[in-house]
Structure 1
Amino acid sequence: GQGSGFLISADGYLLTNNHVVANADEVLVKLDDNTEHIGTVVGTDNRIDIALVKIELGNLPAARLGDSDSLEAGQWILAIGHPFGLMQTVSAGIVGALGRSDLSLLRYENFIQTDATISPGSSGGPLVNLRGEVVGINTAIYSHMGKANHGISFAVPINLARALAERWILGGNISRMGIATIQVDRDMADYYSLAGPRGAFISYVEKRSPAAVGGLLPMDLVVEFGGRKVRDRHDLRLMIAEQVPGEPVLVGVLRAGERKTFEVIPAESPAPIEAPPALEDPEAGGSSAFGITVTTLTRELASSIGVPPAKTGVAIIDVDPESVAWRKGIRPGDVILGVNTSKVEDISQLDEAMSSAGDVTMLKIVSRGYDERFFFIRRSDR
């Protein structure tokens, strides 16, 4: 495939998207002078969709990197790339929004939204401000039915990409704390009698992880990280990713309504893993509460979707794209372990627990082979 990229150092390091170089047998880099050079992938992460490539040349003209945190909605920007193989194409637009997330494009989402035209071949190219400073990496477009650009494009902020690239150059990787979090929405805020949606709710803490060692627990609500307010789970994910592994950070949480602070030392994350494959439509067992269709979880099914064999529950085999479950982030391949305080081992138990649930239902779910998470759904939305 083809894509774009840009040099960030005179000694041949360049940034692009992960999906530009993923699964490539060889990376060939063509410079502005039309010379071609073999590139070595130094680091790549599909959770953020960035990659760092090195070519063995010196004294190269590197792009100036700006500060993506200083961007504002309405600011003019330029997108540079090679759409459809057309070299050095520039399109202009404005920043439409900042911090776009919940797009189901990447695991870590904090996109810069623009209306600059980005087409196939532009992925990995720089998004620059009017001072010529790179503020983002062009990554994705909004399209209907998968093809045409409908005037909305997304870029990964350069501050995040630069922080990860610097670690890769030194042989390191992204930081992790060993937690799974969910978004605090109005339904969850009401369930826990919170003043309003804010922070990141910890749904799972990995054993012996930095978070566990530091004292964090499931059902803690993270409201501050390193002295910065945490708006939501996407905010927290990016703060953790930007934190240098091995450096202590203070994490402020609400636990049972009481404010507590813990010192956590993030560790280096292992290489990212791909999500397990989608379900192959096993024999459905019925129940379709609030837009989901489920079947009892067998040992064979658990193995195919990456769920530990000791887990019991019901597997979700279909989710209506128009349903509240889909909007909350529930997808085929997820497994329901419990409803509120009740454990669920088969469809009849799920139906019984759902029939006795209150105004807001809490679902405990293993999400696509990752960690256990909680989802809150209001009865009136079912």
Structure 2
Amino acid sequence: MNFTKSLASKNFFFFNLVLLGAIFGFSLAFLSFSCSTPVSSRTAKAQENPGYSDVVIPEDALRIAEGLQTAFRSVADKVLPSVVEIKTVSIRRQQTPNFNGIPWEFFFGPRDGNGGNQEREYRSQGLGSGIIVRHSSDTYYVLTNNHVVEAANEIVVALNDGKEISAELVGKDERKDLALVSFKSSETLPIAVLGDSDAVRVGDWAIAVGNPLGFMSSVTMGIVSAVGRTGGPGGNINDFIQTDTSINQGNSGGALVNIRGDVIGINTWIASNSSGGSVGLGFAIPINNAKRTIDDFINSGEVSYGWLGVSLAEADKETTEALGLDGKRGALAAQVFLGSPADKGGIQPGDFITHINGREMRGVNPLMLAVGDLKPGEQASFTVFRSGATLEIKVRIEARNNETATENNKLWPGLMAAPINDTIRNAFNLDKNIQGIVAVQIVDKSPASVVGLQRGDRIIGINGETVRNLADFYRLLREKAGKELWFEVVRGENTLETLKYKR
């Protein structure tokens, strides 16, 4: 075999070997591809990175979650620029102790020119939040809580971008725990959109925006837990929105908004344990309670309240049964100020007020708020339930005067009467078989006090006619109006008649 033939045969052998290997490799690749199942990009990544989970998140669920996430981002973008931090300084001055006669002065002389008896200034800082709600030219108005600024001598507003501007108090109101401050700015700043808190329902999204513990521009999220809550510090008259949204010190005065970014409340207080932190019980003043207040502050620096002239009480189970209220919602006009708008209009003690201008009243606090928001001089329609009948009574509202509203001698009849139940029996040591009504409160200097009624008296008659229950009591009060009136009562073991009184 010559060299050329030998080379040719070797080339042929290598060519065939390579060709055979290529065919074999292609066949294996085809078989592997045809027998395998498709995998998602996430699974492929998991296979490439075996340390990752191979759980696949459903795309439809992701779209919903990401859509909600986008909504929350949009709310934050919308609301944050209109929520500010409010920094306050309260200044207190106090005389320093007089060091005359102590060893210091003997050895070193007086510390100052008058023996140490000088006035010293103490400065305490406060922190809260506020909402930009109005502007006029270069003046911007910030709504906040009264307790944030009530004692402040200096107020500074910090905008969302960190810029700080000196502010001044426009007006404040302790009963509603609301205040308004203003500041000047040549910049165009966003104004918060005020929503409709009457449309809020339990289960709605609730998003709090503020500056808890000084952490500026914080956003937390939860739901509306309840509406129409009463109570809280300071005895204010708001019916609060309750939320489980995280609210802490520094959130006071900040915004509670809905999923559209509209303000539905002003974050005001929390119920907490000894830690003082959030436990999911936050409360906000409904924004509808503040809308007219903002106008009052801007126009006059104070809130103008409408005055009806009644003393209100919640109707408990026994009162509801005694007056035949049959599940009606509202508040009991237990007493009426003589000469008040209520008295002039015809509202009488024992009337159960269910509506004002067609709007249902859910209890004492909502009714007080509704009356307070009525304008002096305005004629309002009150729906009352009296002795089994529903009446419409027109009343012309007057401006609230604190002196007139506390003149006890004009409060008729000047006592709170209640049906006897187990609680009252225990409180006044009454036999378990005794029925009727008891005077549970006597107002000092009132007609009831003047005629000699005492707390714990069991009222059994008016002007010689028998009082068996609360309905009899209020009926006889109405029937004897304008006449001399006296009460027959059981006090201890004795039956007594009081002095006579004429309205």
Aligned residue among 173, 179, 194 for 2:325 = 194
Alignment partner of 1:235 is 2:374? no
Q: For 1:120, give the aligned amino acid.
A: Q
Count of aligned pairs: 306
Contact between 1:18 and 1:44, CA under 8 Å: does it hold in 2? yes
SS at match of 1:180: strand
Aligned residue among 148, 154, 162 for 2:291 = 162
Q: Rate the CA distance shift 1:187–1:146 in 2: closer, same or farther, 3 A.
A: farther
Q: For 1:226, give the aligned amino acid.
A: N
Matches within 5 A, 1:203-352: 203-270=334-401, 351=428
Contact between 2:249 and 2:277, CA under 8 Å: does it hold in 1? no
The Cα offsets for residues 67-89 of structure 1, whole Å up to 9 and x where unpaired, read as: 11111211112101111111111
Normalised by the length of structure 2, the TM-score is 0.55
Q: Rate the CA distance shift 1:97–1:340 in 2: closer, same or farther, 3 A.
A: closer
The separation in 1 between residues aligned to 2:327 and 2:199, in whole angstroms, is: 27
Alignment partner of 1:77 is 2:206? yes
Contact between 1:244 and 1:266, CA under 8 Å: does it hold in 2? yes
Aligned residue among 82, 93, 96 for 2:225 = 96
5+ residue gaps, structure 1: 273-305, 312-335, 342-349, 376-382
Aligned residue among 107, 110, 115 for 2:236 = 107
Contact between 1:186 and 1:197, CA under 8 Å: does it hold in 2? no
The Cα offsets for residues 111-150 of structure 1, whole Å up to 9 and x where unpaired, read as: 1111111111110000111211111000111113472321
The structural deviation recorded for 1:182 is 0.8
Alignment partner of 1:53 is 2:181? yes
The separation in 2 between residues aligned to 1:4 and 1:190, in whole angstroms, is: 46
Q: Rate the CA distance shift 1:271–1:6 in 2: closer, same or farther, 3 A.
A: farther
Q: Rate the CA distance shift 1:83–1:209 in 2: closer, same or farther, 3 A.
A: same
SS at match of 1:170: helix
Q: In the alignment, what sits opposite 1:294?
A: none
Alignment partner of 1:2 is 2:130? no
Q: Rate the CA distance shift 1:105–1:99 in 2: closer, same or farther, 3 A.
A: farther
Q: In the alignment, what sits opposite 2:315?
A: 184
SS at match of 1:188: helix
SS at match of 2:127: coil
Q: For 2:381, give the aligned amino acid.
A: L
Contact between 2:415 and 2:439, CA under 8 Å: does it hold in 1? no
The separation in 2 between residues aligned to 1:119 and 1:79, in whole angstroms, is: 10
Q: In the alignment, what sits opposite 2:62?
A: none
SS at match of 1:191: helix
Identity of aligned residues (%): 35
Q: Rate the CA distance shift 1:27–1:66 in 2: closer, same or farther, 3 A.
A: same
Q: In the alignment, what sits opposite 1:364?
A: 441
The separation in 1 between residues aligned to 2:401 and 2:163, in whole angstroms, is: 35
The separation in 2 between residues aligned to 1:271 and 1:14, in whole angstroms, is: 28
Q: Rate the CA distance shift 1:103–1:123 in 2: closer, same or farther, 3 A.
A: closer
Q: In the alignment, what sits opposite 1:327?
A: none
Contact between 1:9 and 1:61, CA under 8 Å: does it hold in 2? no
Q: In the alignment, what sits opposite 1:147?
A: 276
Contact between 2:237 and 2:368, CA under 8 Å: does it hold in 1? yes
The separation in 1 between residues aligned to 2:418 and 2:317, in whole angstroms, is: 17
SS at match of 2:371: helix
The separation in 2 between residues aligned to 1:140 and 1:211, in whole angstroms, is: 34
Contact between 1:164 and 1:174, CA under 8 Å: does it hold in 2? no
Contact between 2:324 and 2:388, CA under 8 Å: does it hold in 1? no
Contact between 1:9 and 1:60, CA under 8 Å: does it hold in 2? no
Q: Larger radius of gyration, structure 1 or 2?
A: 2
5+ residue gaps, structure 2: 1-125, 420-426, 450-454, 457-503
Structure ranking higher in helix proportion? 2
Q: Which moved further from structure 2: 58-67 or 220-229? A: 58-67
Q: In the alignment, what sits opposite 2:261?
A: 132
The structural deviation recorded for 1:35 is 3.1
The separation in 1 between residues aligned to 2:223 and 2:198, in whole angstroms, is: 16
The structural deviation recorded for 1:363 is 1.7
The structural deviation recorded for 1:211 is 1.9
SS at match of 2:326: coil
Q: In the alignment, what sits opposite 1:276?
A: none
Q: For 1:166, give the aligned amino acid.
A: D
SS at match of 2:213: helix
The separation in 2 between residues aligned to 1:244 and 1:340, in whole angstroms, is: 33
SS at match of 2:349: coil
The structural deviation recorded for 1:22 is 1.5
Alignment partner of 1:26 is 2:154? yes
Contact between 1:65 and 1:158, CA under 8 Å: does it hold in 2? yes
The structural deviation recorded for 1:24 is 1.8
The separation in 1 between residues aligned to 2:438 and 2:273, in whole angstroms, is: 33
Contact between 2:377 and 2:398, CA under 8 Å: does it hold in 1? yes
Alignment partner of 1:35 is 2:159? no
The structural deviation recorded for 1:340 is 5.6
The separation in 1 between residues aligned to 2:433 and 2:417, in whole angstroms, is: 10
The structural deviation recorded for 1:352 is 7.5
Higher relative contact order, chain-length normalized (CA < 8 Å, sep 6+)? 1
Q: For 1:3, give the aligned amino acid.
A: G
Q: In the alignment, what sits opposite 2:192?
A: 63
Q: For 2:132, give the aligned amino acid.
A: L
The Cα offsets for residues 171-220 of structure 1, whole Å up to 9 and x where unpaired, read as: 25232222221111212112323323522101222233222222222221
SS at match of 2:342: helix
Q: In the alignment, what sits opposite 2:305?
A: 174
Q: In the alignment, what sits opposite 1:289?
A: none
Q: For 1:177, give the aligned amino acid.
A: L
Q: Rate the CA distance shift 1:208–1:55 in 2: closer, same or farther, 3 A.
A: farther
Contact between 1:214 and 1:265, CA under 8 Å: does it hold in 2? yes
